[in-house]
Structure 1
Amino acid sequence: MSIAPAPLARQALESPPDSGAPLRAAPPAHMGQSNLNPLGMSLWSLWREDLRAHDGLALEQGFWALAVHRFGNWRMGIRSKLLRAPFSIAYKLLYRVVEWTCGVSLPYTVKVGRRVRIWHHGGMILHAETIGDDVMIRQNTTFGVVRTNHNFELPVICDGADIGVGAVILGAVRVGKNAVIGANAVVLNDVPDDAVAVGVPAKVVKYRHERPERTYTP
C-alpha cells in the first residue's frame, strides 16, 4: 500500500527554494539574440580591457574564456545570418577549445560586464543570466539552474561581487553589489548588497565596511 505525501511535503519536493525572484518559464528577451557586450566599446577595446584586468597576462585561461565570449557576442552584431555563419563556426570551435583546455564554460548568452576577473581555471560552469562589472570569480565555481526543468532561472551576479573558490550559486537568485560569497558556499537565496555569505546553505554572517553597524550571527 502506498501512502501519498502530505501537501506540504509534496510542495517541498516539487518547488525550488524560494529565492525571492519570480519563476521564469521562458528565456530573457536578450538571451542569444543580440550582441550583449558592453555598449560603446569595440571588440578590440574589450579585449584590451580584459587583458589589463588579468594583469596583462595573455596566457591566463580566464582571459582566453572572456576573449572568446566577447567574440561570440560581437558576431551577433552581424545582422546577415549568411555573413555571420563563418564567425559562428569559429566561435563554436573556440568555445569548445576553451572548455576542454581551460575548464571554463562561459556561453555567449551570459551578459558579462567590464573588468571581470576569472582567477585561475578549471571546473568553472558560469551559466548566469548576467555577471556585472568588476566581478571576481575563482576556480571550481558553478552558476546555474537549481533544477533541470527550470532552465531559464539563472543567477544575477551584480557589480563588484567577489565569488570564492568552489562556490555554487543556483537558481534565479541575486548576488548583490559588492557581496562576498565564501569558499564552497552554496547560494540558494538572494544575497544583499555588501553582504558576506558563507556555509551550506549560504547565510549572511556580516556586512562589509559600507554598513558596519549591521552584524549577523550564523
Structure 2
Amino acid sequence: MFDNIRQDLQTYQGDWGCQGFWVMVVYRFGRWRYGLKPLIIRKIFSFLYKFCFKLIQIITGIELPCEVPVGRNFRIDHFGDIIISGYASFGDDCVLRNGVTVGLKNVDITAAPRIGNRVNIGAGAKILGPITIGDNVDIGANTVVLSDVPDNSIAVGIPARIISKKRKKQFVFR
C-alpha cells in the first residue's frame, strides 16, 4: 500500500494538497484492506474505509471505489463531479478531469468501460456501457462515448466521432 501511495505522490508531483491524491490514498487503503486477516480485523478496517470513502466523496466530489482496477500513474487532474463505476477498469498513465463519468449505460447490464493505457479524458466527458477504449486515446471535453474507440484515436462530439491520430492535417499559416 505505501509503495503505491509513494508512486501516487510522485504522479501528483509531490503535492499533498491535490484532492485527486487524497482520493488515491483512500482508494489504496480500500484495496489494501482486502488482504487483512482475520475477518474481524478486515471488517473493522472495512468500516473505516467506508467512512473515509464517503468523507472524501463529500469533500472532493470524486467517487472512485476500491473495486476499480487502476494502472500506474493514474491521475485525477481536477477536482469535482467525477463518478467512476465499480465495474470500470483503467490502464497505466490515464488522466481524468472534472465532470467525468465512467459508468453503466443501462442499469440492467452491469458492465462498464475498460480504459486502456495513456488515455486522456477531457472535462465533462461521459464514457458509458460495456465498451473498450484503446491505448493512446484522447477523449475531448464534453464528449459522450457509447461505442469502442480504437488505439491511437481521438474521440470528440455527442455522440463521439472517432478520428485517427495517424491522419495528420497540414496547416498553412499566413
TM-score range with shorter-chain normalisation? over 0.9
**Aligned counterparts of 2:91 and 2:68: Cα–Cα separation in 1:** 10
> What corresponds to 2:75 in structure 1?
117
Please tell me the residue identity of whatever aligns with 1:126: I
Give CA-to-partner distance per residue, 1:59-78, whole Å, 9 cap, x none: 10001111111110000011
- Which of residues 100, 107, 110 is equivalent to 1:141? 100
Matching of residue 186 in structure 1 with residue 144 in structure 2: yes
- Which of residues 102, 107, 111 is equivalent to 2:60? 102
Give the drift of 1:148. 1.6
Please tell me the residue identity of whatever aligns with 2:53: Y
5+ residue gaps, structure 2: 170-174
Give the drift of 1:213. 7.0
Provide the identity percentage.
39
Matching of residue 63 in structure 1 with residue 21 in structure 2: yes
- Which of residues 102, 116, 121 is equivalent to 1:163? 121
Give CA-to-partner distance per residue, 1:132-190, whole Å, 9 cap, x none: 1100110000001001211x211111111000000000001111101000000000000
- The answer to whether the Cα contact below 8 Å between 2:91 and 2:118 also exists between their aligned partners in 1 is yes
**Aligned counterparts of 1:144 and 1:115: Cα–Cα separation in 2:** 21
> What corresponds to 2:89 in structure 1?
130
> What corresponds to 1:199 in structure 2?
157
User: 3-state SS of the aligned residue for 1:169?
Assistant: strand
Give the drift of 1:119. 0.6
Please tell me the residue identity of whatever aligns with 2:143: A
Between structure 1 and structure 2, the one with the greater Rg is 1
Please tell me the residue identity of whatever aligns with 1:147: N
TM-score by length of 2: 0.92
User: Segments of 4+ in structure 1 off by > 6 A?
Assistant: none
5+ residue gaps, structure 1: 1-42
- The answer to whether the Cα contact below 8 Å between 2:88 and 2:102 also exists between their aligned partners in 1 is no
Give the drift of 1:80. 2.6
> What corresponds to 1:14 in structure 2?
none
**Aligned counterparts of 1:129 and 1:167: Cα–Cα separation in 2:** 15
**Aligned counterparts of 2:80 and 2:90: Cα–Cα separation in 1:** 18
> What corresponds to 1:177 in structure 2?
135
Give CA-to-partner distance per residue, 1:5-58, whole Å, 9 cap, x none: xxxxxxxxxxxxxxxxxxxxxxxxxxxxxxxxxxxxxx1110011011011110
Give the drift of 1:212. 4.2
